[in-house]
Amino acid sequence: MPADTPRPANPAPPAPDFPWPEGKRSAFFLGFDVDAESVWLGMDRRNAERLVTMSYGGYEARVGIAKLLELLARHDAKGTFFITGWTVEAHPAACEAILKAGHEIAHHGYWHLRPEPGDDETMREEVERGFEALKRVLGLIPVGYRAPSGESCVALLKMLRDRGIRYSSSWRDDIRPYRHLLPDGPGPIEIPVNYSLDDWNFGITHRMSPRALFSREAVLSIWRDEFEQTHAWGGVTTMMLHPQVSGRPMRYRLLDEFLTYVAGFDDVWWATGRDIADHYERCEAARGV
């Protein structure tokens, strides 16, 4: 193959076959992306003056986060909240409430800028400012990362690994966790995501993000089917939920119903991203990797 031919294939070996803890058949990972207004600023910085556009994201701190924390507490569930640096600085009280409730906090960029291959400087600034904000406001150093707007590249994975990120949850190419293989050695673990489990695709509409809204029945049908087959295959059902979507009244109700449904399976391991990374690394050590 000529050197200039694009090589999109992921060089990482297939996901290893390891057991889930306590004999469970699959894992269930509740991931929330706390973008607040930064997702709209990341699309166009001029949105700072477009106050109705900003108010889509503003719903998170005013209503959505608190409602989801109440929902998780009622289900006795712990999740991972991927928070942008901008959000943690703009809404410290809402983010402190997430931490205080015992959930994992992870990295989600600063301005919610989509990582752009070739623009290493912007990627580096997004990564470093995100770390700084989480440390300054919440006093923590995250070990997980989810790419804003779902893009990734080798340079970004290296930056993350070199700064202590142990897992990414951004890629779409598996149903079980695997470890990235970078040109200079192992990269972070990947806990893959699935676009069918991203509430943004079903529950929000705006002129910059236009789509039809989906009914509760339609979303539950998709989510149940994804979950059941992922469970049968022994994979990880990774949710990608946003407080400005799933914190809305009707979306909250359907998430409540979906969590009740998943809780009906007694052989599912409910885990945060960090729990899954810890388990993966223990399994690697047991295999002598």
Q: Which residue is nearest to Zn ion (CB)?
A: 33
| Number of Cβ within a 10 Å radius of residue 256 | 14
Size of site (CB under 5 A) for Zn ion = 3
Query: Least distance in Å: CB of 140 to Zn ion?
Result: 19
192: Cβ contacts below 8 Å, ≥ 6 apart: 169, 171, 172, 173, 174, 175, 176, 177, 178, 236, 238
User: Nearer Cβ to Zn ion, position 33 or 104?
Assistant: 33
Which range in 95-103, 119-127, 140-148, 255-263 contacts Zn ion by CB under 5 A?
Answer: 140-148
User: Nearer Cβ to Zn ion, position 33 or 126?
Assistant: 33
**Are 165 and 143 in contact, with CB atoms under 8 Å apart?**
yes
**Are 31 and 169 in contact, with CB atoms under 8 Å apart?**
yes
Which range in 25-33, 156-164, 186-194, 250-258 contacts Zn ion by CB under 5 A?
Answer: 25-33
**Are 80 and 144 in contact, with CB atoms under 8 Å apart?**
yes
Query: Least distance in Å: CB of 155 to Zn ion?
Result: 20
Which range in 31-39, 62-70, 208-216, 219-227 contacts Zn ion by CB under 5 A?
Answer: 31-39
Angle between helices 154-162 and 120-133 (to 10 degrees): 30
User: Nearer Cβ to Zn ion, position 33 or 199?
Assistant: 33
User: Nearer Cβ to Zn ion, position 60 or 190?
Assistant: 60
> Nearest-CA neighbor of 131 among 85, 99, 88, 170?
85
126: which 2 tokens? 């997004």
Q: Tell me the backbone φ, ψ of residue 83, rounded to 5 degrees.
A: -115, 135
Question: 146 to 185, contacts with Zn ion by CB under 5 A?
Answer: 148
User: Nearer Cβ to Zn ion, position 35 or 226?
Assistant: 35
199 near Zn ion, rule: CB under 5 A: no
User: Nearer Cβ to Zn ion, position 171 or 280?
Assistant: 171
Question: 246 to 275, contacts with Zn ion by CB under 5 A?
Answer: none
Using CB under 5 A, pick the residue from 33, 174, 190, 198 that binds Zn ion.
33
Query: Least distance in Å: CB of 243 to Zn ion?
Result: 11
Alpha carbon distance 266, 273 (integer Å): 20
Using CB under 5 A, pick the residue from 30, 35, 145, 160 that binds Zn ion.
35
User: Nearer Cβ to Zn ion, position 35 or 190?
Assistant: 35
Query: Least distance in Å: CB of 35 to Zn ion?
Result: 4
Residues that bind Zn ion (CB under 5 A): 33, 35, 148
